[in-house]
């Protein structure tokens, strides 16, 4: 639900262009940056954040999450993106290091994830740049210009928190 909403928000806000041309470009060059790939990423982030608070318990979201992580490991290994693979490996185990309804249910968690994502983006940009190094200004600039990534974290996570709330659970009994 939240993933589809974020996808629609991305398209209707103009953050991504959805057309036959962008889909065809993605099909022929899936590893190249493009609007359709961005759309898939923000939809995936929203879905992951919607299931994220419950991956610390034995649940269906946990199974799906770790299946997706496994596929991510395989893709990153094939692409020889070993630093990203290491980041994903470390991040995948973090939810298992606390009690249920701990920090994964905090309201600030998606904002922390969005900042970490922007910092990681800037780190890789600076690493591949010949002319400038890491800049906190660029982190903020990324979050403002590409706000759809932050929105995907926040909308996905808050959707889970709302549906998990006692008010909603009482309403649907």
The answer to whether the CB of 91 falls within 8 A of the CB of 49 is no
Closest C-alpha to 95, from 84, 104, 85, 106: 104
Q: What is the pLDDT along the chain (173 residues), one digit of tens a residue?
A: 788 999 999 999 999 999 999 889 888 887 777 888 889 889 988 988 888 888 877 888 888 888 988 998 998 888 787 887 888 888 888 877 777 778 888 899 999 999 999 998 898 888 877 767 889 999 999 999 999 999 999 999 999 999 888 777 777 76
Specify the pTM: 0.81
- Measured CA to CA, the distance from residue 126 to residue 39 in angstroms comes to 24
Give the count of beta carbons closer than 10 Å to the beta carbon of residue 150.
21
- Measured CA to CA, the distance from residue 116 to residue 80 in angstroms comes to 22
DSSP secondary structure string, 74-142?
A: HHHHHTT-HHHHHHHHHHHHGGGGS-TTSGGG-TTHHHHHHHHHHHHHHHHHHHT-SS----HHHHHHH
Closest C-alpha to 112, from 145, 84, 143, 83: 143
């Amino acid at each position: 639900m939240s993933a589809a909403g974020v996808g629609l928000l991305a398209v209707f806000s103009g953050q991504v262009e959805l057309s036959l041309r962008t889909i065809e470009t993605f099909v022929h060059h899936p590893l190249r940056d493009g609007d359709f790939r961005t759309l898939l990423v923000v939809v995936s982030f929203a879905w992951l954040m919607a299931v994220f608070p419950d991956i610390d318990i034995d649940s269906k979201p946990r199974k799906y999450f770790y299946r997706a992580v496994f596929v991510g490991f395989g893709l990153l290994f094939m692409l020889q993106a070993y630093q990203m693979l290491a980041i994903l490996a470390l991040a995948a185990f973090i939810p298992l290091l606390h009690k249920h309804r701990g920090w994964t249910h905090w309201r600030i968690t998606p904002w922390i994830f969005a900042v970490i994502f922007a910092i990681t983006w800037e780190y890789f940009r600076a690493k591949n740049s010949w002319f400038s190094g890491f800049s906190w200004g660029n982190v903020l600039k990324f979050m403002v210009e590409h706000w759809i990534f932050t929105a995907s974290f926040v909308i996905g996570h808050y959707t889970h928190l709302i549906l998990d709330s006692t008010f909603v659970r009482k309403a649907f009994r």
